[in-house]
Amino acid sequence: MSKITYRDAGVDLETYQESMSRLPALMKRTHCPRVLPWKNGFAGLFTLDFAGGLFSRNYKDPVLVSCTDGVGTKLKVAQLARRHDTVGIDLVAMCVNDALCCGAEPLFFLDYVAMAEDDPQLLEDIVGGISSGCLASDMALVGGETAIMPDLYQAGDYDLAGFCVGIVERSRLLDGSALTPGDVVIGIESSGVHSNGYSLVRKIVFEHAGLKVNDEAEGCGGTVGDILLQPTLLYVRALRDVLNHYKVKSVVHGIAHITGGGLHENLARIFSPHVDAEIVRDSWPIPPVFEWLQRLGDVDEDEMFRVFNMGIGMAVVVSEYYAESVQQQLAAHGLQSWLIGRITEGTGECRWA
């Protein structure tokens, strides 16, 4: 009887080494001088401040901000379409967009990729997207972990998790305390479904309607795969510039990332118990993908707004006096935005006007 090997159990160490050899270049392109080299690879090192020049921050009372998230069942769409180079962008976005809600500047990122079997090209595609997301967020990819688990995943399956660390001066921390009646809510466009509600999306599109990834998504300007794999927008550069443009905290009072739970639930998360928000329902255009999904699945409108972002990827609460200025800065970054509501006295709720 021949001796049992790790390869017999589903893990080929030679293929694993090939996979690992493809990743350093994807990480290196995201590095700035604040990333310290450490050859043994057990951890990533990042200098909180820098001696001088372009990367000097001169923090006075810094607070570290950490976020973690995944991509969810959007990965099943990527697997159906055999297109894996965008879900890494989603992974980064789901983490760094959350960090922005504290007013933080993202510093570095780590990933966790769990796979059924070694597949160097698949891993390179996934991490390539993560690397691109980090570049677009001016953030270093300092490390990660790849786990091969043939007994937990079917062939071709994989899962992703991401971990972001950012920083904010304590005096600039957005904790909801600055929200004031009379403030306005600016809604910033999403790129579509982003990365939430895909269990409902897949039930509507693939199970109820019986569509395939290469079928046309009627009225959306692309195939089902094209539309559903549109990556989550990264708002880092735009919102960082907005936050840095004003030297006082009295301009931007709150930021909410609109994910699962929709606009009302996520916006209410940043409120104090003394304010409400009144949102004007028809104050922004609903992207075609949501109208398509609602029509295709005969979904109630309330359910659509409870599950999906409905075209608003981030909501920013600002002093009304500065609203036009903030919108101009967002437009300079190519982002559409709309005045969608107002803060009133209340009990910490968000409702339709």
**Does 149 share its domain with 270?**
no
* CA pair distance 341, 343, nearest whole angstrom: 7
Q: Is the pLDDT of residue 352 over 80?
A: yes
Q: β-pairing, 35-36 with 45-46?
A: antiparallel
In a shared domain, residues 151 and 205: no
Which pLDDT band holds residue 56 (cuts at 50, 70, 90)? confident
| Single residue among 170, 192, 218 that ends a domain in this structure | 170
Q: Would the pLDDT of 1 be above 70?
A: no
The answer to whether residues 195 and 118 belong to one domain is: no
Q: Give the residue from 170, 199, 228 where a domain finishes.
A: 170
Q: Is the pLDDT of residue 328 over 90?
A: yes
- Quick one: what percent of the chain has pLDDT higher than 70? 99
For 64-71, what is the mean pLDDT? 97
pLDDT digits (tens, 9 = 90+) for 183-223: 999 999 999 999 999 999 999 999 999 999 999 999 999 99
Distance of alpha carbon 166 from alpha carbon 63, whole angstroms: 8
Question: Which secondary structure element, helix H or strand E, spans residue 252, and what is its range?
Answer: strand 252-257
135 and 205 belong to one structural domain: no
pLDDT one-digit tens code per residue, 296-316: 999 999 999 999 999 999 999
On whether the CB atoms of residues 137 and 234 are closer than 8 A, the answer is yes
**Shared domain check, 336 and 314:** yes
Domain holding 193, by residue range, is 183-352
pLDDT (0 to 100) of residue 35: 92
How do residues 223-242 score in pLDDT, each as one tens digit? 999 999 999 999 999 999 99
How many distinct structural domains can be found in the chain? 2
- Whole-number pLDDT of residue 55: 78
At residue 348, the 3 state secondary structure works out as coil
Reply yes or no on whether the pLDDT at 152 is more than 90: yes
- Convert the pLDDT of each residue in 248-282 to its tens digit: 667 999 999 999 999 999 999 999 899 999 999 99
> Would you state the pLDDT for residue 3?
83
- Could you tell me if 291 and 155 lie in one domain? no
| Residue 50, in any domain of the structure | no
Please provide the average confidence, as pLDDT, over all residues in the chain.
94
- What confidence tens digit (pLDDT) does each residue in 72-98 have? 999 999 999 999 999 999 999 999 999
The tokens of 169 are what? 């001066």
Are 231 and 303 contained in the same domain?
yes
Give percent of the chain with pLDDT exceeding 90.
86
Q: How many CB atoms lie within 10 A of CB 116?
A: 18
- β 105-115/140-148 pair status: parallel
- Phi and psi for 104 in degrees, rounded to 5? -85, 150
The residue among 170, 192, 209 that closes a domain is: 170
3-class secondary structure, 91: helix
For residue 83, the SS3 value is coil
Which pLDDT band holds residue 294 (cuts at 50, 70, 90)? very high
